[in-house]
A and B are shown apart, each in its own frame.
Chain A
Amino acid sequence: MVPLTHIMALAGVLFFLGAICVVVRRNVLFILIGVEIMLNAAGLTFVAASLRWGAPEGQIFVLFLMAMAASEVSVGLALVVYAHRRKKSVDVDDFNEMKD
């Protein structure tokens, strides 16, 4: 059986890569993809922990997580389409009106 620490390390690397993607990318689509990767890294941790301690709640939680990710992507993409209509851009730097 694969040790928990290995899975945790993989999940950590995935989460870190997702976070880098969210922070560094300017394109809003890539940012959404980064968010998905981070969510899946968290799901991986849940599954691993469920297996380790023999608790089924972790696996149930991942099902919720998938449902949430699917709805998040649909709402997020709808927002991206709407935002693209307004500014003809999917670059997040064009949407910095919160600053002033």
Chain B
Amino acid sequence: MTSYVPYILLLPIAGAAFNILAGRALPRRAVEAVAVFAVFGSCVFAVMALYGMTGPVDVMLFDWISFGSFTAPFTARLDAISATMAVMVTGVSTLIHIYSVGYMADDDGYVRFFALMNLFVFSMLTLVLAGNLPLMYLGWEGVGFCSYGLIGFWYQDTEKATAGRKAFIVTRVGDVAFGVAVIWLYQLTGQTAIAAINQSAQVIPAATVTAIGLLLLFGATGKSAQLPLTVWLPDAMAGPTPVSALIHAATMVTAGVYLLMRMYPLISLSGTAMAAIAAVGALTAFYAATSALGQTDIKRVLAYSTISQIGYMVMGVGAGAVAGPLFHLFSHAFFKALLFLGAGYVIKAMHEEQDIFKMGGLMYRTPLVFVCFLSGALALAAVPGTSGFFSKDEILSAAFNNGSAFYTCIWAIGELTAFITTVYALRLVYLVFTGESKKTPAHVSGLMDYTLIPLALLSLAGGAINAPESWGGGTKLSEALISQGLAPRQFEGGSFGLQALAVLITVAGFATVHYLYAVNPKLREDMAARQAGLMAFLKDGWGLDRLYHAAFVAPYTAASRFLWRDFDEGLIDDSLDNLALATAKVGTWMRSSVTGRMSTYLVSVFLGAAALLAFFAIR
């Protein structure tokens, strides 16, 4: 099975290289076929590698960096976490590539689009399969670059190009912390390989482990859009919708969580770092869920929802679970990719309209998309039996059973957020699909709705990969992780009390939305009108963007302006200019002595001679 591993990585990069070099000369269908089949082939090899896996194994492809004792070969490490991640990434990517063929049918930039998408898949697989931290960093930066290129895909629109730059710069803030952690870990352990670092983690002093844990957490907050670095993800929705689905929902944004899960044996040695991780996750989950309530743009609702759901995953890692967050990562990838692709369909059908209050009544016009979107929303709302229900239950159980008062608070925030999640998920469905229709849907490519079906099935039934025994599942994912020593044995989900509470919360959320959006919309409008300030605050994402603008962007701009206008132009340029002007003035003044008259020159000769003589006489 190790012989499959190189092809998992090779196919997407080959597809990208082929399309970059030859894509412009080929017909459109060829470009699309190369891109789709490169990722599909990669998916096939990933599945074969997963099924052939007997235990963790390293596959060295070639020597990448090697000087002195610092070695970072291009090594793919295949274990229960990375192999399942690779299957998920390639599987979801394949579906989204097929969807993109329909979505990008009218766009002329398709070569660049598919080349970047393939390059993204390669970078993401490098990140996932990396056996050492420098290689993981390579993938980490690679996905960041592709994300930047694809958010600003329509770069002629200033707003979209700016969104791309914002995403790149904000995530770069976190990347610095990750980079510092990589170098620090090498300096402490003399190792770059992830498994070796985790094994020798015991020798690192406790305070240092805490510091490294916090650095890794900060790196994760950048890529995974957690507090305090959430602000780039809602703006990242400027990119094409398949990009939002693939990069900004299913795969890249989970890289931060993946990093924390990879380094779990190290991080778990520090209680402080774990508590910080749990707190960041819980606060982000709550913050983003409330912000999602105030959004009117369908993609921004989903963006805040993504931030919130990743907050759950981070919180799960902080609560001492690895299998739970990984499980939620998978179910989230399925249902959020589904919701984004459904949203892309809806936006196309509504003639590029993104405001959910201007939609409605799509239930009967596009029944297939409605059913798929609904299954995604139900999984997001954690309706019992769906994938989201089991995965969220595992994370909340981990927090609840941790015992301490701190983690009980974290759990309480998680449960409260679960209620808000149900409300905003179903609010979306009610506003978009029910009520009277306001527009006649446009024709949309068939590729775009049929790709929703597999994702809908996965959202509904994906819980089977790790369902608790009380539901007839075998917690297969957890067992695989624990048997390979990648996750601690912990209290598993599925306790009756917590599940009953989860059901209660979902029902309460459903009832609230049904009452406010179907039975008595007048009451909702009155409430919204009375709480206009609160709604604006939520829509603004708690004003975080404006805070950062005031705290960082504005001072930076002011400092740049000062250095440019006052320092560079004012001090340096002006002093040089004035020096030149003064020299010119002195020259003009001295030139006036050049009269062209003999007598003037003679007078100066006499005066000079007199001065010389006077000098010698006095001396």
Q: What residues of chain A have their CB less than 8 Å away from a CB belonging to chain B?
A: 19, 22-24, 31, 92-93, 96-100
Contact = CB atoms under 8 A, between A and B. Distances in A.
Contacts of A92: 597-599
Contacts of A96: 595-597
Given A23-B603, A31-B598, A99-B594, 6 more contacts: A22-B602, A92-B597, A93-B597, A96-B597, A98-B596, A100-B596
Contact of B595 (A19, A22, A23, A99): A99
Contacts of B606: 19, 23
A99 B602 contact: no
A93 B598 CA distance: 8
Contacts of B594: 99
5 contacts: A24-B599, A92-B598, A93-B597, A96-B597, A100-B596
Interface string B583-596: 00000000000111
Contacts of A31: 598
Contact of B596 (A19, A22, A24, A99): A99
The residue among A23, A31, A93, A98 with the most chain B CB atoms within 10 A of its own CB is A23
Contacts of B602: 19, 22-23
B599 A23 contact: yes
B613 to A, nearest CB: 11
A31 B601 CA distance: 14
A19 B603 CA distance: 9
The residue among B594, B597, B602, B603 with the most chain A CB atoms within 10 A of its own CB is B597
Interface of B: 594-599, 602-603, 606
A74 to B, nearest CB: 20
Contacts of A22: 599, 602
Nearest to B609: A19
Task: Report whether over half of chain A's contact residues are helix, strand or loop; otherwise say mixed.
Answer: helix
A15 to B, nearest CB: 10
A80 to B, nearest CB: 14
Nearest to B606: A19
A99 B596 CA distance: 4
Contacts of B599: 22-24, 92
Nearest to A26: B599
A23 B604 CA distance: 10
Nearest to A97: B596
A70 to B, nearest CB: 23
A19 B488 CA distance: 111
Contacts of B596: 96-100
Contacts of A99: 594-596
B501 to A, nearest CB: 101
Nearest to A92: B598
A96 B597 CA distance: 6
Nearest to A99: B596
Contacts of B603: 23
B607 to A, nearest CB: 11
A23 B603 CA distance: 7
Nearest to A19: B606
A67 to B, nearest CB: 24
Contacts of B597: 92-93, 96
Contacts of A23: 599, 602-603, 606
A41 B602 CA distance: 17
A100 B594 CA distance: 10
Contacts of A24: 599
A99 B600 CA distance: 12
Nearest to B598: A92
A100 B596 CA distance: 8
A90 to B, nearest CB: 13
A49 B439 CA distance: 122
A99 B593 CA distance: 11
What are the 10 tightest A-B residue pairs by CB atom distance, in nearest-first order? A99-B596, A96-B596, A23-B599, A23-B602, A92-B598, A23-B603, A19-B606, A98-B596, A22-B602, A96-B597
Nearest to A23: B599
A23 to B, nearest CB: 4
A92 B595 CA distance: 12
The residue among B596, B602, B603 with the most chain A CB atoms within 10 A of its own CB is B596
Nearest to A28: B598
A36 B595 CA distance: 25
A31 B597 CA distance: 13
A99 B603 CA distance: 16
A80 B245 CA distance: 100
Contacts of A93: 597
A98 B602 CA distance: 15
A97 B598 CA distance: 11
A94 B539 CA distance: 88
A23 B594 CA distance: 15
A91 to B, nearest CB: 11
Nearest to A93: B597
Nearest to A34: B602
A47 to B, nearest CB: 21
B143 to A, nearest CB: 72
Nearest to A25: B599
A31 B598 CA distance: 10
A31 B602 CA distance: 11
A93 B597 CA distance: 6
A9 to B, nearest CB: 15
A99 to B, nearest CB: 3
A98 B601 CA distance: 12
B171 to A, nearest CB: 68
A11 to B, nearest CB: 14
B530 to A, nearest CB: 87
Contacts of A100: 596
B609 to A, nearest CB: 10
A98 B596 CA distance: 6
A92 B606 CA distance: 19
Nearest to B595: A99
A19 B598 CA distance: 12
A54 B602 CA distance: 34
A69 to B, nearest CB: 18
B263 to A, nearest CB: 82
A39 B598 CA distance: 18
Contacts of A97: 596
B611 to A, nearest CB: 15
B600 to A, nearest CB: 8
A34 B597 CA distance: 16
